[in-house]
Amino acid sequence: MNWLWDLLIIVVLAAIVWVIIVYQRKRLLRLWNEVTKDEVAFYRQLEKVHRLFYEHLDLVKTEDNLECVRMVRRYRKKRIRSLLLNTRQDLYNSINLLYDEVDEHDEPEYIIMKEEYDNLQKIRRIYNSKVLIYNQTISVFPTRYLALRMNLELKEYFG
């Protein structure tokens, strides 16, 4: 009779471990899905802002920001997501410097550029915060092994 209780305890513990693994797996997949959606939204908005700044380069071009203008022109026909991370960040920084020129004006053509850039900043902050949570979650002891088995890798921050 004693061995029956031991067997029951082992079965219950195995069931508890299985439930925990299934819960953690669903949690990891949900986090990965959220980060991926935010990543797609961020890069779509970055491409939209890039296109908008490219269309209005004549409004923001000065002698001080010629290198930024060249950077925006150079990647006008490329998908931003396919570029290397440091190139994407350089392009983002160039747009950021061009935004300083836009921010000084209150004309109607600048208002759309300001709104889209502000929206990009909001999406970037949300994306980076989700990446932080995701990366911390898959780097901690019990979930790290499960994440490795699921082929989940760390996501990259942006800017």
Sign of CA dihedral 29, 130, 159, 53: positive
Q: Would you state the structure tokens that stand for residue 29, as one six-digit string? A: 């997949």
Report, as an integer, the average pLDDT of 123-143. Answer: 93
For residue 159, what pLDDT is reported?
65
Q: Domain residues of the chain, as ranges? A: 42-159
Tell me the CA distances in angstroms from 117 to 9, 38, 50, 85, 100, one per residue in order.
59, 16, 9, 20, 11
For residue 16, what pLDDT is reported?
95
What is the rounded average pLDDT for all residues in the chain?
A: 90
Is the CB of residue 80 less than 8 Å from the CB of residue 46? Answer: yes
Query: Predicted confidence band at 66 (pLDDT cuts at 50, 70, 90)?
Result: confident
Number of Cβ atoms within 10 Å of the Cβ of 8: 10
> How many angstroms separate the CA atoms of 106 and 114, rounded?
10
pTM of this structure: 0.84
Tell me the chain's radius of gyration from C-alpha atoms: 24
Q: pLDDT tens digit string along 101-119?
A: 888 877 887 889 999 999 9
Q: pLDDT tens digit string along 25-47?
A: 999 999 999 999 999 999 999 99
